[in-house]
Amino acid sequence: MKDKKTVYITRKNKFNTLYDKQKRIANLISIFRFATFIGGCIFSFFISRKMNSYIFTLISFLLWITLFLFLAKIHEKLIKNKNLVERIIHINEKGINRIEGKWRSFGEDGEDYIDEDHSFSGDLDLFGLSSLFQYINCTNTFMGKTKFKSTLENPSYSEDEIMKRQEAIKELGSNIGWRQRFEGEGVLKEDKQGHVDRLLKWCVDKKDLYSKNYIKTLTTSIPLFTIVFIILSFLMGGLYYYGALFFIFISIVALFNDKKKRNYALQTVFLYKKYIESYYNMISLIEKEKFRSEYLVSLKERIVENEGEKASTAIKELMNISQSISDRGNFFYVIFNILFLLDYKHMIKLEMWKKKWGKHLEEWLKVIGEFESLSSIAILSFENPDWTTPTIQKEKLIIRGKKVGHPLLGDRAVKNDFSIGEGEKILLITGSNMSGKSTFLRTTGINLLLAYIGAPVCAEEFTCSLMDIYTCMRISDNLERNISSFYGELLRINKLIEGVKTKKPIFFLLDEIFKGTNSVDRHTGAKILINKLSKEKVLGLVSTHDLELGSLEEHNSKVKNYHFKEYYENNQIHFDYKLRKGVSTTRNALYLMKIAGIEVEEG
């Protein structure tokens, strides 16, 4: 991982140098622009006074204004490139922080995606503070975040799809330059569902009025007659003056017709001008890259239509229209709008665009989102070359891992070997407080999830079968819903039972089962549930303080005992977090109470 930190540092320094260079050039161009403007004004004034010729004055004016606009164009491009470089610098800084274990300070943690009713996301720390989402998320678009969330919550890929995703993630992981450029181009502020929904709704909301031939004819002919009569009124006066006024009046009436709906449509495109430009840049990057893996190639094909036209061509066209519409905020636009019916011309162009491309935009945005999601997962592949690509077992239910650690703990992760499914179906994990039982359950669950989405897992070897995941770990009282922790636990157990009834393969994690009730009921309920589950198409881990449950192994060959233990040194308690066979023989609750300053009288 240190080598990867060096890569990030090297790239950061490289782009810092580039940023400083671009900043100097941009400042220099800005000075040239100002000098050109002042010099052009002075020169034009000088020409008009000395030459006393409108032609020479006009030529000089056109020359310096052309140079000024040329420099403005170059300056705008430099600013955009400088901003992109700045974003890539930030991306590399995030990479350094992630490797140094400082990723918990990343601003976006997916807290809005927390779902207490989900079958496993809360217990496996997929969203929220110190979550997998916070650790690797590099999505920026709404579609990207949605796709990444869906991938983590619903890993419903087949064995074949997982294998294809593994290759895709490896390829993206090794292509850090493309990934960072793609992420840098996608940095958008407030790309939210409402915004995307409005844009997609606009794409399929046809305004038939602007597709009619007579509207296209009138939009061309009325401005033509208006300009002709204006010219003739200056040259000949008389009735031509009234003719010009008549056609101007017609234009004004036309602009008031359907004004509200037209403004809404035009404002929609204008509001999303920067998003459309970002989508164009991201799609262009996808189109230009020559991907090798089948999964990425098939994704890329989704942004090329049957006619062979590229999505970037369509987005570029929409971007150009949106740039034209942005002039509507200009004071002089009102005059030109009356003369040339610009709003109508924009609407006609947009309707032509929607007719040809509108139905495809949502699909293109989904492809962008899929690439963002895969790029986020590819961070694991790039930064953890020592992690393994899991093997999916089709023939039987099994999980087998060698040196498996928790992916979010970094160097602090203690790694364990274990297997389940080769005879036993349920591992009963005992151990004292703080010994590592819950962490081990989460370690198994989150690595299983990573395997299901095509990611590498934090292990030296890992083999697993495809199963639906159910957990019951973090259950607390919910005052808003008037649900006690014990009832909440029962609801989660009921979900598991309902899942079992579907006869689908299931993997479950139960932490301190039935802890919300008395010891007798807890022991009886846990024993009945474990025995029942052991007869079904399931694998699972159950942690418990109830050491008496260890006797289940004697009567049920599908249950095996494992435990974690503590040791004492210099009157202090220590844990090695290593998984061992058998039932725990130690307890530390009284000792921990003494450490906390609570006097305990034994006897």
Residue with tokens 């010099």: 39
Q: Locate tokens 């061992």: which residue?
A: 580
Tokens (6 digits) for 237? 């006066």
| Two tokens, residue 453 | 């989405």
Alpha helices by DSSP H, listed for 141-212, are: 142-153, 159-174, 176-185, 193-204
pLDDT of res. 255: 84
Structure confidence by residue, pLDDT tens digits, 420-442: 998 899 999 998 878 889 999 99
- The answer to the question of residue 122 being in a domain is no
Q: Are residues 503 and 539 located together in one domain of the fold?
A: yes
Of 423, 460, 450, nearest in space to 556 by CA: 423
* CA–CA dist 553, 123 (Å, integer): 27
Mean pLDDT is lowest, of 82-96, 278-292, 339-353, 453-467, for 339-353
Helical residues (DSSP H) of 302-403, grouped into ranges = 311-325, 333-340, 342-357, 361-383
Same domain, 150 and 87: no
Which of 358, 337, 360, 348 lies closest to 207 in space, CA to CA? 348
Average pLDDT in the 295-324 region? 85
Distance in angstroms (rounded) separating the CA atoms of residues 444 and 420:
11
**Structure-block tokens of residue 545:** 């303080």
Give a yes or no: residue 9 inside a domain. Answer: yes
What pLDDT, in 10s, does the model give residues 356-393? Answer: 888 899 999 999 999 999 999 999 999 999 999 999 99
Categorize the per-residue pLDDT at 594 as very low, low, confident or very high, splitting at 50, 70 and 90.
low
The CATH number assigned to the domain holding 585 equals 3.40.50.300
| pLDDT > 70? residue 237 | no
For residue 276, give the amino acid letter.
I
How many angstroms separate the CA atoms of 162 and 175, rounded?
20
Report which residue type is found at 244.
Answer: A
- Of 367, 383, 399, the last residue of a domain is 383
Reduced to 3 states (helix: H, G, I; strand: E, B; else coil), residue 518 is coil
pLDDT score recorded for residue 137 = 96
- With respect to residue 177, please indicate whether it lies within any of the assigned structural domains: yes
pLDDT level of residue 121 (50, 70, 90 thresholds)? very high
56 and 185 in a common domain:
no
Query: Would you state the pLDDT for residue 192?
Result: 61
Please indicate, yes or no, whether residues 360 and 400 belong to a single structural domain of this protein: no
Closest CA relative to residue 471, chosen from 446, 504, 434: 446
Of 325, 353, 383, which residue is a domain's last? Answer: 383
**What pairs with residue 585 in β-bridges?**
none
Stretch 259-268: mean pLDDT: 82
Asked whether residue 229 falls in the same domain as residue 252, the answer is yes
Q: Are residues 374 and 407 in the same domain?
A: no
Residue 497: pLDDT over 70:
yes
**Which pTM does this prediction carry?**
0.87
Task: Decide which of 334, 363, 383 is a domain's last residue.
Answer: 383
Q: Which of 177, 127, 188 is nearest to 152 (CA)?
A: 127
Is 426 within a domain?
yes
pLDDT over 80 (residue 134): yes
Do residues 263 and 326 share a domain?
yes
Find where tokens 């890993």 sit.
Answer: 155
350 shares its domain with 482:
no
Structure token pair of residue 172: 């993206």
Secondary structure E strands in 40-155:
none
Q: Which residues contact 333 (CB under 8 A, 6 or more apart)?
A: 327, 342
Could you tell me the residue range of the domain that residue 41 belongs to?
A: 1-100
pLDDT tens digits, residue range 452-493?
Answer: 999 999 999 999 999 999 999 987 645 455 456 777 788 889
Statement to judge: residues 147 and 22 lie in one domain? no
Same domain, residue pair 261 and 212 = yes
> Does residue 97 carry a pLDDT above 90?
yes
Residue 436 shares a structural domain with residue 513: yes
329 occurs within a structural domain = yes
Q: pLDDT by residue (tens digit) across 166-207?
A: 999 999 999 999 999 999 998 765 556 566 788 888 887 777
120 within domain boundaries: no
417 in any annotated domain? yes
Number of domains composing the chain: 3
State mean pLDDT over 339-354.
87
* pLDDT of residue 150 exceeding 80: yes
Instruction: Annotate 233-257 with b (16+ C-beta within 10 A) or e (fewer).
Output: beeeeeebeebbeebbeebeebbee
- The DSSP call for residue 536 is S
Residues 134, 231: Cα–Cα separation, whole Å? 65
Task: Let me know if residue 121 belongs to a domain.
Answer: no
Residues 567 and 489 in one domain: yes
Q: 3-state class of 188 per DSSP?
A: coil
The closest of 275, 316, 92 to 187, measured between CA atoms, is 275
Contacts of 455 (CB under 8 A, 6+ apart): 166, 169, 377, 380, 381
Whole-number pLDDT of residue 159: 95
Asked whether the predicted pLDDT for residue 516 surpasses 70, the reply is: no
